[in-house]
Chains A and B, each alone.
Chain A
């Protein structure tokens, strides 16, 4: 089955899962109808809950999905469907109040029935969940406590919402309806158990340990890990994995990193990590021997996914990590296809992998174009950013046949993508990996 067909099948299944309970709500025997807007409000409440129940699937890193949909697209999808479900959930009480202001009695928490209290708490949890995620950085919430809170609020909100609908009972009066709203959360719970219990347990059975940590240019550290008591994993150059270092895989403390080693070698797996947040700054403090758990590989940002007569890599800063893996892999394969690397950095001293790239050049048909933002006075190469002019100067005439991999922070990806489109590179030949997830 082609990738597009698979993608469309999964999308259809997702829609079916979200809409099935809502369609059943429509066609199952139901009690007498009330006012139009009251029923709309009730329906939106159910729609919000149905969307929320499936919300952890895109971020659950299910291999069969991440082979088709890039991880950053899944996060994008998770983000906007969450905002959507929050809007539905918020619309539910607002429309009820607008329709009949007497409903406000239920907001007198001291005297309100428990079903109303649970509903209000569920809505507040959903709103808190969304606000804390969209504006996490403004709240100065660190990634790890945020993720813990995020999971807690999500499970709490769903539990409270179920309490609310079973308390209200209006649309759960018949046994068939009750079975539906018990079966659905059971399915959500099963998927959650798979992700949060089965997967970590499986990781625990396949541990790795740190072999070496070495410093790279540009405030980066390369972490080399080796499997303990099992053959390890194979990956495609350009893919990434989630690492848990020095903690139990049940601790929900994993972080995503691209492989930087060659996919053709069976030695240690390497990841190069830039000191940015709290966790990445601590990487250098780990000692050899510390246990590491690997969840992966994931992603389709790989030369092996896109056949082409040549490749162009456009990397900003540590966005070069997956590119390094692809270059090392191509070198190990003795691949003679033309390759171009446009590599943007602040200055010459900070160019991560500078020496390694030079060492790879004799083994590859590779042209490297360094673009420095603040070069020294004797720099003769490109300066500023990877602009359309820079690309136009160095790309060959058959540029439209090549496949392009852009990797870096979002402020770098967008203008580079626009420049490629200006050069009339077909959209389907431009792949992106954003180095910012949540």
Chain B
């Protein structure tokens, strides 16, 4: 189970960082 957690967490981190990067670059400053 722990290996699954580790892999999911790594995948989730990549995904969230990339989404935030696109939002950061595309959205105007608040």
Q: Name A residues whose Cβ lies closer than 8 Å to a Cβ of B.
A: 4, 7, 11, 14-15, 18-19, 22-23, 25-27, 29-33, 36-40, 43-44, 47, 51, 69-70, 73, 76-77, 80-81, 84, 88, 427-428
**Complex-state Cα separation, A137 to B5, whole angstroms:** 28
Q: Which residue among B12, B21, B24 has the maximum number of chain A CB atoms within 10 Å of its CB? A: B24
Query: Chain A nearest CB: distance from B13 CB in Å?
Result: 6
Among the interface residues B5, B10, B21, which one has the most CB atoms of the partner chain A within 10 A? B21
Given contact pairs A11-B9, A36-B25, A43-B24, A22 touches B17 in the complex (Cβ within 8 A): yes
Rounded to whole Å, the gap between the CB of A49 and the closest CB of chain B is 12
10 more A-B contacts (CB under 8 A) besides A18-B13, A76-B3? A4-B1, A15-B13, A19-B17, A22-B17, A26-B20, A26-B24, A29-B30, A39-B24, A40-B21, A44-B21
Residues of B within 8 A of A36 (CB): 25-26
**Which chain A positions have C-beta within 8 A of B22?**
40
Instruction: Say which residue of B2, B9, B29 sits within 8 Å of A70 (CB atoms).
Output: B2
Give B contacts to A, CB under 8 Å.
1-3, 5-6, 9-10, 12-14, 16-17, 20-30
| Cross-chain contact B17 with A47 (CB below 8 angstroms) | yes
Please name the residue on chain B nearest to A171 by beta carbon.
Answer: B24
Q: How many residue pairs at the A-B interface have CB separations less than 8 Å?
A: 75
The one of B6, B17, B23, B27 in contact with A44, judged by C-beta atoms closer than 8 angstroms, is B17
Q: List A contacts of B5 (CB < 8 A).
A: 7, 11, 69, 73
Main secondary structure of the interface of B (DSSP, over half): helix
Quick one: closest B residue to A14, CB to CB? B9
Chain B residues, Cβ within 8 Å of A51: 13
Interchain CA distance A81-B10 in the complex, whole Å: 7
Q: CB-CB < 8 A to A427: which residues of B?
A: 1
Indicate whether A77 sits within 8 Å of B10 (C-beta atoms), given known contacts A7-B5, A19-B20, A70-B2: yes
Identify the closest chain A residue to B16 (Cβ).
Answer: A19
CA of A30 to CA of B22, assembled, Å = 16
27 residue pairs of the A-B complex, CB under 8 angstroms, read: A15-B16, A18-B13, A19-B20, A22-B17, A23-B20, A26-B27, A29-B29, A29-B30, A32-B29, A33-B29, A37-B25, A38-B25, A39-B24, A40-B24, A43-B21, A43-B25, A69-B5, A73-B2, A73-B3, A73-B6, A77-B6, A77-B10, A80-B6, A84-B10, A84-B13, A84-B14, A88-B17
A27 is contacted by which of B12, B13, B30 (Cβ under 8 Å)? B30
Give the shortest distance, in Å, between A2 (CB) and chain B (any CB). 12
**What residue of chain B has the Cβ atom nearest to residue A23's Cβ?**
B20
Contacts of A70 in B (CB 8 A): 2
> Closest CB of chain A to B21's CB: distance in Å?
4
Looking across the interface, which residue of chain A has its beta carbon closest to that of B8? A11
**Chain B residues, Cβ within 8 Å of A33:** 25, 28-29
